[in-house]
Amino acid sequence: MTDMHGVVRSASATDPLRILLRTTESSGELAVVEIEMIAGSGGPPLHLHPTHGEGFYVLSGRLTFQLGRDVITGGRGTWVFAPRGTPHTLANFGADTGRLLCVFAPSGFERRFERMLAQQSGQDILGELAERSEAEQATQVVGPPLAAPRRPRA
């Protein structure tokens, strides 16, 4: 029998970005990132990942997702999955801050968020962290970010 080791992270609702599971902790199988999106914030441009699928689980708030041509808005408990090669993006057009889990399978794309955390804390990005992962390099932008819905005129 193999001696298995797990990963435990303590809860922290105050961090806007937390990496919960990294490549090195999952043998490259899975990565999980928790992200806070402030009210009214847009997200990345429409993009696809040829190397991995990406799932989103809404913890709080109401977030809007584009998956292919479909646009879906959902609150707590909403699960959205973009298989490899599927164009997708997200935004928070709501009035409240949203939190979500982003799941990458296989892992690798979480390195983008590791660099963001390092930059936010003023660290120099050196060594392996400075290099973009294969998952980041393969990501393709295929369209614009989601546009905020038009408000009816009074």
Identify the H or E element spanning 118. Answer: helix 110-120
pTM of this structure: 0.84
Cβ-contact 43, 91 below 8 angstroms? yes
CA 54/CA 113 separation, integer angstroms: 14
Residue found under tokens 């879906």: 72
Q: Does 19-75+85-141 carry CATH code 2.60.120.10? A: yes
Which tokens in the block code for residue 20? 């919960």
Domain boundaries, the chain: 19-75+85-141
Rounded to the nearest 5 percent, the helix, strand and coil shares of the chain are 15, 30, 50
Which tokens in the block code for residue 131? 């290099």
pLDDT in tens, the chain (154 residues): 344 566 665 666 677 889 999 988 999 999 999 999 999 999 999 999 999 999 999 999 999 999 999 999 999 999 999 999 999 999 999 999 999 999 999 998 888 888 888 777 666 666 666 678 888 889 999 999 999 887 766 6
Which tokens in the block code for residue 35? 């992200």
Residue found under tokens 């970010």: 145
